[in-house]
A and B are shown apart, each in its own frame.
Chain A
Amino acid sequence: GQQVMQIPQYQHVQEGEDFTTYCNSSTTLSNIQWYKQRPGGHPVFLIQLVKSGEVKKQKRLTFQFGEAKKNSSLHITATQTTDVGTYFCAGPTISAGGYNKLIFGAGTRLAVHP
């Protein structure tokens, strides 16, 4: 079945350093979503990318969707301690019942040292 793979699994950075997490799908995606989960919290929607080659920015966060719509990346510039958490990518797949459901990557856990 369809898989969404995410690397790295963990990333430790010093505050102020940049951070990137990568997401790869085994199949072409109609769209990709990114979520952030703070320690002890629940995943919160960050953004959705739909178009081939799309780039979106949210302050220090830059999201990219690959030209083939099979990969995506999230880049954080000058990390802060508030960026700590696990970042998940997710893409739609078709369920046994014929409906769309989201498949999540394994997530990248980001630790930021002050």
Chain B
Amino acid sequence: EADIYQTPRYLVIGTGKKITLECSQTMGHDKMYWYQQDPGMELHLIHYSYGVNSTEKGDLSSESTVSRIRTEHFPLTLESARPSHTSQYLCASSPFDFGRGDEKLFFGSGTQLSVL
């Protein structure tokens, strides 16, 4: 079973608050991802990282930011939460594929964010 952890599991917060969603993995994976998903809907890639100090924006525009200072840690921050940010945020990791494109993603349990 994958060792990738997300906290908190649920977060209810007021508009305008700054929040950080935590994601950590203990598998030594180089690649990490953040996906946004509404219930039962498709997965939208919002951020990814290929290693320490390497981050790129995903396909879905997001007001969130990420950092990758340590291999195992990939937090996502929203400076000012709004109701439109209400969604589930899934973190994932995979080992480096050396250009093969065959990496298998391990997902965390997700953070369900509700902004009031």
For window 58-79 of chain B, which residues contact chain A by CB distance below 8 Å? 58-59
Known contacts A30-B102, A43-B105, A95-B48: does B54 contact A107 (CB below 8 Å)?
no
The one of B43, B100, B106 in contact with A88, judged by C-beta atoms closer than 8 angstroms, is: B43
Chain B 69-113 interface mask (CB, 8 Å, partner A; 1/0): 000000000000000000000101000010111111111111000
Question: What is the interface residue range for chain B against chain A?
Answer: 20 to 34
Smallest CB–CB gap between A72 and chain B, Å?
Answer: 15
Q: How many residues of A contact B (CB 8 A)?
A: 30
A95 touches B103 (CB 8 A): no
The one of B42, B56, B92, B100 in contact with A105, judged by C-beta atoms closer than 8 angstroms, is: B42
Known contacts A86-B40, A97-B50, A97-B54: does B105 contact A102 (CB below 8 Å)?
yes
A50 within 8 A of B: yes
Listed from nearest, the 10 A-B pairs whose CB atoms lie closest are A92-B101, A100-B101, A106-B42, A42-B107, A104-B43, A30-B101, A45-B104, A99-B50, A43-B107, A31-B102
**Cross-chain pairs A/B with CB under 8 angstroms, 30 sampled:** A30-B100, A30-B101, A31-B101, A33-B104, A33-B105, A35-B105, A42-B108, A44-B107, A45-B104, A48-B102, A48-B104, A50-B102, A86-B40, A88-B42, A90-B105, A92-B97, A92-B102, A92-B103, A97-B50, A97-B54, A99-B31, A99-B50, A101-B33, A101-B58, A102-B103, A103-B45, A104-B45, A105-B42, A107-B40, A107-B43
